[in-house]
Amino acid sequence: PYGLDIQIDTPRVYRLEQIPCALSWKTVCALLESIDQKTLIGQRDYTIFHLMATYGLRCSDIVALTLDDIHWHRNEISISQRKTGEILLLPLTDAVGSVLQHYLQHGRPDSVYRQLFLRSRAPEGPLHRNAVTRSFHAWVERSKLDIPRHGAHCLRHSYAAHLLHLGNSVKVIGDLLGHQTVESTCVYLRIALEDLREVALSMPQACSEQHAQEVLS
């Protein structure tokens, strides 16, 4: 009957109630290796997901990268975090430097745009974050790997879990992710609650379930 639905007490669902998806590092590496780099799109996408996996970058941050953000002489890469507005300086590793050099020499077309990653189809222009998600789904499907239906953001969660497995503290992981609060990092680390018991830096009371549900990833 009309109005009956509003009388039904439905369960409340919080935005972050579900455990974040994190892939094993072996799966992340297998996914990267499955990307066909013989094509221009493949070279671009491999570089994108290599950077996302290496640094735990958000889609919005990866598409905002420009040629000027790669500081070759200082061996640094600067990330303008769209979510926080903060600049995150990260080390330019030898592996990332090699991947970037190959992409810039063989995969990136000449363009008036300074953005690092460009559209593969007309009109020419910077890549959109939605295109990163679509590409991720496409490569996952091609890889035939057993990966749940999640977006490219799962690489960020996978990176956080990988850092934890390597023995890094919650504080170090948060700094590398560019988090402004420990609570945000704790949300990511819900994916490895058992491992948290091995970390020297204990989780603060603010990382309780109630608080974690309210923190944006």
Parse the chain into domains and list their residue ranges: 25-143, 154-212
Q: Which residue in the list 50, 153, 162, 190 is annotated as catalytic?
A: 153
Q: Which residue in the list 44, 162, 179, 190 is annotated as catalytic?
A: 179
Q: Which residue in the list 50, 156, 157, 190 is annotated as catalytic?
A: 156
pLDDT score at 53: 96
How confident is the model over 107-139, as pLDDT tens digits? 999 999 999 999 998 889 999 999 999 999 999
25-143 carries CATH number 1.20.200.10? no
Q: Are 183 and 44 a contacting pair, CB within 8 Å? A: no
pTM across the whole model:
0.78
pLDDT at 189 > cutoff 80: no
Mean pLDDT of 68-86: 91
pLDDT score at 212: 37
15 labelled catalytic: no
pLDDT score at 167: 84
Mean pLDDT of 30-45: 97
> Between residues 154 and 11, which one has the greater pLDDT?
154
pLDDT score at 1: 47
83 labelled catalytic: yes
pLDDT score at 188: 66
Q: Which residue in the list 15, 71, 74, 83 is annotated as catalytic?
A: 83
102 labelled catalytic: no
Query: How far is 211 from 217, CA to CA, in rounded Å?
Result: 12
pLDDT at 190 > cutoff 80: no
14 labelled catalytic: no
Q: Are 49 and 32 a contacting pair, CB within 8 Å? A: yes
User: What percent of the chain clears pLDDT 70, i.e. is strictly above it?
Assistant: 77
58 labelled catalytic: yes
pLDDT at 2 > cutoff 80: no
Residues of 87-125 as b/e, b for ≥16 C-beta within 10 angstroms? ebebebeeebeebbeebeeebbeeeeeebbbbbeeeeee
188 labelled catalytic: yes
Query: How far is 107 from 91, CA to CA, in rounded Å?
Result: 23
pLDDT score at 149: 72
Out of 93-97, 154-158, 192-196, 201-205, least confident range: 201-205
Query: How far is 79 from 156, CA to CA, in rounded Å?
Result: 14
Q: How far is CA 124 from the centre of its chain?
A: 25
Q: How confident is the model at residue 21 (pLDDT cuts 50, 70, 90)?
A: confident
Q: Which residues contact 6 (CB under 8 A, 6 or more apart)?
A: none
Q: How confident is the model at residue 105 (pLDDT cuts 50, 70, 90)?
A: very high
pLDDT at 76 > cutoff 50: yes
For all residues of the chain together, what is the average pLDDT?
82
How confident is the model over 147-187, as pLDDT tens digits? 887 789 899 989 988 998 888 888 888 888 887 777 777 77
